[in-house]
Structure 1
Amino acid sequence: MTQTLAGQAGTHHDAGPALTDRIVGWTLTIGGLIGALAAFVLTVEKIALLKDPAYTPTCSISPILSCGSIMTTGQAEVFGFPNPLIGLATFPVVAATGAAVLAGGRLPRWWWLALQAGTVFGVGFVHWLFFQSLYRIGALCPYCMVVWVAMIVLFTYTTLYNLDRGHLPAPRRLTDTLLRVHSAIPTTWLLILTALVGVRFWDYWRTLL
């Protein structure tokens, strides 16, 4: 019976661990919704700032945690329009994909590869923004950091899912090893970024102690 179900699903190697559709579906759904909400709030704040240059965004709470000082930089409009608009256009697609998976839908390989390409771009873009925030602007946007976290988790689980389902080529042994520690991957990743933030702004954090 188990072999029959596995054969019908056709989604993973029988001998190795796998991410269930339920795990990936919920991850994409929740991550997409959180990312979309953060992008929406950032867009609203940007519009308010455009209407009134003296407006103080709700996420500007200290000299370091300050959305306002970031929204007025060139890095906030890399492609000629506010960066959050990218999130407004893409995160709902991610959430919808997760909902489809939870509903039992079988999406084609090209869809997963397109999602993979999108998350690769997204995770690369947020790391560029991370670098710009820390070492060029010298400030952090709390809502942006929510997007960073969501993007890292979405990239991790999209990649692992595609590896497990054979959409991306990789040695099975490597894939199984990564699947066994799937939750440790984004956790370690985020801890490293947190440490970089702590080191970069240590002088400021120290004044708060």
Structure 2
Amino acid sequence: MTARTSRPSGTSQTSQTARTAPPAAVGTAPGAGVTVISRALPWLLAVGGGIGLAAAAALLVEKIRVLAEPTHVPTCSINPVLSCGTVMTTPQAEVFGVPNPLIGVAGFAVVTTVGAALLAGAEFRRWFWLGMQAGTLFGAGFVHYLIFQSLYRIQALCPYCMAVWAVTVPICWYVTLHNLRAGTIPVPRPLRGPADVLARNHTVVLTLWALAVLAAIAQAFWTYWSSLL
């Protein structure tokens, strides 16, 4: 009888797996920051979009009431600085020929719907994400234009507008990070390192932005704030 050499089944299975498993792609393993971004994006779009939609709708209602009754005092007019009534009567409140809240209602309705669809398991093609990128970049740029106008031209703040500011920039930021990590927006090799650093420190970027806006508000209205002390 010929002796047969037996091999441990675990070793054979491991060797077979090693032979058949595809090689890992370089630089595609997501870090903790990327995982958080992927999980947070649907919630951010749904919740942040809902907040923006509610704020834009409330501001639109106040705008309609002011048009119907010029003596109406909006609920968001609290003091000389926090005054929606002052803001909504300026040309900057209708930059494109229609009340800005109309643009907000339309845009945030789309963002909220996309977030809800992602939570339900929907997947979108590359062209759709490029459209989201363009839309959120427009929103972020428009918001910064309005921030500058509110602080240094109109010299009044609209609480509902500030709620829109607070959600528009994070939405744009996380959509951008998602598109960079998913390859929707190609990242040149020399910039992949900085892109990874930004993804790992995504909350730091938003914190610095928020602090910069708060500092600008404090500086622009320092005379009024100091009078309250």
Both proteins in one fold, TM over 0.5: yes
Distance in 2 (alpha carbons) for counterparts of 1:80 and 1:30: 29
* Matched ranges for 1:22-33 at <5 A: 22-33=39-50
Match in the other structure for 2:149 = 132
Deviation of 1:96 (Å): 1.2
Structure 1, unaligned stretches of length 5 or more? 1-6
State the shift of 1:15 in Å: 5.2
Instruction: Please tell me whether the aligned partners of residues 65 and 140 of structure 1 are also in contact (alpha carbons under 8 angstroms).
Output: yes
Find 1:58's aligned residue among 75, 90, 95. Answer: 75
TM-score by length of 1: 0.91
Paired residues of 1:19 and 1:164 also in contact (CA < 8 A)? no
In 2, the alpha carbon distance for the partners of 1:186 and 1:112 equals 21
Match of 1:14 among 26, 29, 38: 29
Per-residue CA deviations over 1:64-117 (Å, capped at 9, x if unaligned) read: 000001111100011111000001111011111111222222111111110100
Amino acid at match of 2:195: T
Is the contact between residue 55 and residue 161 of structure 2 (CA under 8 Å) also seen in structure 1?
Answer: yes
Query: Share of identical aligned residues, percent?
Result: 53
- AA paired with 1:198? A
1:154 maps to what in 2? 171
Cα separation, 1, equivalents of 2:169 and 2:30? 28
Paired residue for 1:204?
A: 224
Q: Is 1:97 the equivalent of 2:97?
A: no
- State the shift of 1:30 in Å: 0.7
In 2 relative to 1, CA 176–60 (structure 1 residues): closer, same or farther, beyond 3 Å? same
In structure 1, the residue matched to 2:161 is: 144
2:196 aligned to 176, 182, 185, which one? Answer: 176
Alignment partner, residue 17 of structure 2? none
Return the offset for 1:172.
2.6
For 2:43 and 2:29, how far apart are their aligned partners in 1? Answer: 23
Q: Which stretches of structure 1, 4 residues or longer, exceed 4 Å deviation after superposition?
A: none
Q: Which amino acid counterpart does residue 184 of structure 1 have in structure 2?
A: V
Report if aligned partners of 1:57, 1:67 keep a CA contact under 8 Å in 2. Answer: yes
Aligned amino acid, residue 62 of structure 1: N
Q: 2-side partners of 1:28 and 1:188: how far apart?
A: 21
CA distance in 2, matches of 1:138, 1:64: 7
Say whether the 8 Å CA contact 1:28–1:154 is kept in structure 2.
yes
Give TM-score, length-normalised by structure 2: 0.83
Q: Deviations over 1:149-195 (max 9, x none)?
A: 11111011111111111111223322211111111111210110110
Structure with larger Rg: 2
Residue 92 of structure 2: aligned partner: 75
Letter of the 2:111 counterpart? V
Gaps of 5+ in 2: 1-21
